[in-house]
Structure 1
């Protein structure tokens, strides 16, 4: 597969459809001006009308586990529904965006738009670990990161779902607090890919998330961020801040896995300017 070069700021034209980073599909690149984030929000809420679609279409957050077939394997992701009520704890259960992102990766590899075999991948806010598990099954060398109190469940899911006979890649778990300096093994060498699902959830976390993305990625790093359209203010805040240092493109839903898409979801690709 021919890899596309990273898009530069000067190359972007209004609503241009082009390739970004190491993703072989074409994405809709956001215009690099002050009005672009607000226009993107209006477009998403106007066309997709996320509030009219059912939330949690692919997950059951009251269940102790989520079962999902991916990469020829039957994954069983343990959840902790009782932890969901604790303030700030969202990574104890699965969310639709993780399923959408994981199945997007599988579909993109099958479609030869993405190559993960042997690539270094860092997942941010890995939660229950589904996305990282799928990336490892697709051949990536994955580091799944989250806050210290989320690692026990994450490790358990990695150990129970990734066995040597099924595994083309590898997976390890590391602590990472956004905004703090990452361990050297996360940045040397820089990741080929950074993944995140539902990591854009509060204005307070946006700057720390972007600081971490800046620290982790190089000009050849491709970032995939999937999220649910819940709060237009938070997403606009993220886009405004991100566009200062990153080129931002949106993957249209025609390129997602045909069985795992929702009008409540959005999927962005970012590359460093």
Structure 2
């Protein structure tokens, strides 16, 4: 059965106001389901999933859901802003950002692009599609195709988990961000190495925890580029 989510603010933070059915899907069932359904920004969204073909890139993970709930609360200004999503997977976060008024570049590696594009096209109304584009971006590669410091906001949901990607991800963030750019990373800290990336990030960015979803154990970190260090 389908799941629908809508975010509201309470004294405790973010919670789901609407959720059908009440029981969450078991992990394996969620991975192998052909689609996942949500309600964000007053739109019903159906995201295709394809674990067998694309693995982790083709599943809606909890971090993406929590990120969308956070964006929907209006904690970050999106209307008219230039936004880029890294490692978009199913495209849920970028789709919701576009529905909330951002001009979004939704990126992932080449093998996921056809799948990602189909989800974006299927879930954005015709009058909103012009505000979202799908583009290939492998971290640390071909960065000259993207304007240096050309975005107001960089989004990433559950993209911090492979140690080999930490250095290229950091280079990518440094390229995309100006001093005024905000970065939002929704992370599930599964391993000690995941905190290693946060340590790397803090060498180049000011980092704070913007939100913690206790139910799903998801942290949202907000980061800004540090000014260049001056040699003494």
Fold shared by both chains (TM-score > 0.5): yes
What 5-or-longer segments of structure 2 have no aligned partner? 1-23, 227-232
User: Helix, strand or coil: the match of 2:37?
Assistant: strand
Structure 1-normalised TM-score? 0.69
Matches of residues 89-128 of structure 1 in structure 2 within 5 Å? 89-107=55-73, 109=74, 113-128=75-90
Cross-structure match for 2:158: 198
Structure 2-normalised TM-score? 0.81
C-alpha separation between the residues in 2 aligned to 1:190 and 1:248?
A: 20
Q: Tell me how far 1:182 sits from its aligned partner.
A: 1.8
| Match of residue 198, structure 2, among 235, 239, 243 | 239
The 8 Å contact of residues 139 and 168 in structure 1, kept in 2 or not, is answered as: no
Cross-structure match for 2:96: 134
What 5-or-longer segments of structure 1 have no aligned partner? 1-53
| Higher RCO, Cα 8 Å, sep 6+ | 1
C-alpha separation between the residues in 1 aligned to 2:124 and 2:108?
A: 18
User: Helix, strand or coil: the match of 2:88?
Assistant: coil
User: Helix, strand or coil: the match of 2:115?
Assistant: helix
| Match of residue 79, structure 1, among 39, 49, 52 | 49
C-alpha separation between the residues in 1 aligned to 2:188 and 2:136?
A: 24
- Consecutive aligned runs of 4 or more in structure 1 exceeding 6 Å deviation: 54-57
Q: Tell me how far 1:169 sits from its aligned partner.
A: 6.9
The 8 Å contact of residues 145 and 176 in structure 1, kept in 2 or not, is answered as: yes
Alignment CA distance shift 1:120-1:62 (3 Å): same
The 8 Å contact of residues 149 and 175 in structure 2, kept in 1 or not, is answered as: no
C-alpha separation between the residues in 1 aligned to 2:76 and 2:165?
A: 29
Alignment CA distance shift 1:168-1:128 (3 Å): closer
Q: Tell me how far 1:181 sits from its aligned partner.
A: 3.1
| Match of residue 174, structure 2, among 211, 214, 218 | 214
Q: Tell me how far 1:144 sits from its aligned partner.
A: 0.5
Q: Tell me how far 1:183 sits from its aligned partner.
A: 4.3
Matches of residues 144-223 of structure 1 in structure 2 within 5 Å? 144-165=106-127, 167=128, 170-184=131-145, 186-187=146-147, 190-223=150-183
1:161-193 per-position Cα deviation (integer Å, ceiling 9, x unaligned): 11124x397110000010113244x32661000
The aligned length equals 202
The structure carrying a bigger strand percent of its residues is: 2
Cross-structure match for 2:224: 271
